[in-house]
């Protein structure tokens, strides 16, 4: 297998990069690792780091490359931990966005809306094009790692393709978002796609995973990413061993849920984490009003699984004031799915 300057013989490992020449003459290098199993099998492509402040997946891909042993692998693993080095170095969701500028304000800068890219286009289009030509087109299966803000549980995202949904179940996260991607398509006027959509159109099976927590590295989310990749490889017969998926899944936006608001201002102090199971009337958080020196309990109105616990509202993943745990009276602070 050859990807850019990286190559690996059967039963070996290799590292290198995919080079992209920008219009101004700069060269950007996206790192690549390849693990070639001793036996033939599927090609799995896993990437992270399309958005520069979503870094749990970056670590998960690197750790997977470190852990994989060619002698125990069937098929080929191709890992790209940083698909968009420009956005990572700039510490922005997309290269070219200003400080605290929302994801959706200039969607043409969003690398994950422009696949399979354009060799003569913008920086993000060129990066996508070269990764597509060098790696994605060679894959039978594609995993794209992202990160939600820290207030929500990790989840997998797939379209309507049955095989991709089965892959999402194997990945092993409790929460799954499955649909036709119509809302995402309406965000842009151009006929470009997310990498998972483009990969499916060429016949691959694909999923995206949102590993909770941005702007920092969350060990729990990194572990979920590594375990999810290995679960998929076990399902595909690339690795030996049993998968460890949850006994049941929760489908976001489809299964019944309860939305909880708090009728006072204050600092939200969580007592449970997104993904935890809770009982009816269990105390899940406290809200402290530091001005009135008062503290109020927030109890779960139902028995269920916490998906979201924290401030809500648009752009809370990029705008610092919205990341602050001070909540406004009447705002939604929790989403709990029934079990």
The predicted-structure confidence for 96-141, as pLDDT tens digits, reads as follows 888 888 877 787 888 999 999 999 988 999 999 999 999 999 999 9
Determine, yes or no, domain membership for 244. Answer: no
Q: What is the mean pLDDT of residues 201-227?
A: 94
Indicate if 63 and 142 belong to the same structural domain. yes
The CATH number of the domain holding residue 12 is: 3.40.630.10
Of 121, 134, 79, 107, whose CA–CA distance to 193 is shortest? Answer: 107
User: Would the pTM of this model clear 0.75, i.e. be above it?
Assistant: yes
How many domains are there within the chain?
Answer: 2
The predicted-structure confidence for 258-307, as pLDDT tens digits, reads as follows 999 988 889 999 999 999 999 999 999 999 888 888 889 999 999 999 99
**CB count in 10 Å sphere of residue 77:** 29
Indicate if 169 and 266 belong to the same structural domain. no
Task: Name the residue range of residue 310's domain.
Answer: 256-338
Indicate if 105 and 25 belong to the same structural domain. yes
């Amino acid at each position: 297998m050859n990807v850019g300057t990286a190559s690996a013989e059967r039963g070996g490992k290799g590292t290198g990069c995919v080079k992209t020449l920008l219009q101004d003459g700069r060269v950007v290098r996206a790192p690549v690792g390849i693990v070639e199993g001793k036996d033939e099998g599927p090609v799995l492509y896993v990437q992270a780091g399309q958005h520069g402040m979503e870094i749990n997946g970056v670590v998960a891909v690197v750790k997977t490359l470190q852990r994989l042993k060619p002698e125990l692998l069937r098929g080929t693993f191709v890992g790209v931990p940083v698909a968009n080095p420009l956005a990572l170095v700039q510490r922005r969701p997309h290269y070219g966005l200003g400080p605290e500028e929302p994801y959706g304000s200039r969607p043409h800068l969003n690398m994950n809306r422009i696949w399979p890219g354009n060799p003569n286009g913008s920086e993000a289009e060129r990066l996508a094009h070269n990764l597509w030509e060098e790696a994605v087109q060679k894959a039978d299966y594609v995993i794209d790692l992202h990160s939600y803000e820290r207030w929500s549980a990790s989840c997998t995202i797939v379209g309507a393709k049955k095989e991709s949904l089965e892959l999402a179940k194997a990945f092993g996260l409790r929460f799954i978002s499955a649909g036709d991607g119509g809302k995402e398509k309406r965000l842009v006027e151009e006929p470009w796609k997310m990498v998972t959509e483009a990969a499916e159109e060429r016949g691959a099976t694909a999923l995206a995973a949102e590993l909770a927590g941005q702007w920092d590295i969350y060990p729990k989310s990194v572990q979920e990413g590594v375990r999810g990749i290995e679960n998929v490889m076990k399902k595909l017969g690339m690795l030996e061993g049993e998968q460890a998926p949850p006994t049941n899944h929760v489908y976001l936006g489809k299964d019944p849920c309860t939305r909880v608001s708090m009728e006072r201002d204050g600092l939200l102090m969580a007592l449970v984490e997104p993904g935890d199971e809770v009982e009816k009337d269990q105390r899940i958080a406290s809200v402290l009003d530091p001005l009135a020196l008062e503290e109020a309990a927030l109890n779960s109105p139902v028995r269920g699984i916490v998906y979201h616990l924290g401030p809500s509202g648009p752009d809370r993943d990029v705008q610092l004031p919205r990341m602050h745990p001070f909540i406004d009276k009447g705002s939604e602070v929790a989403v709990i799915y029934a079990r």
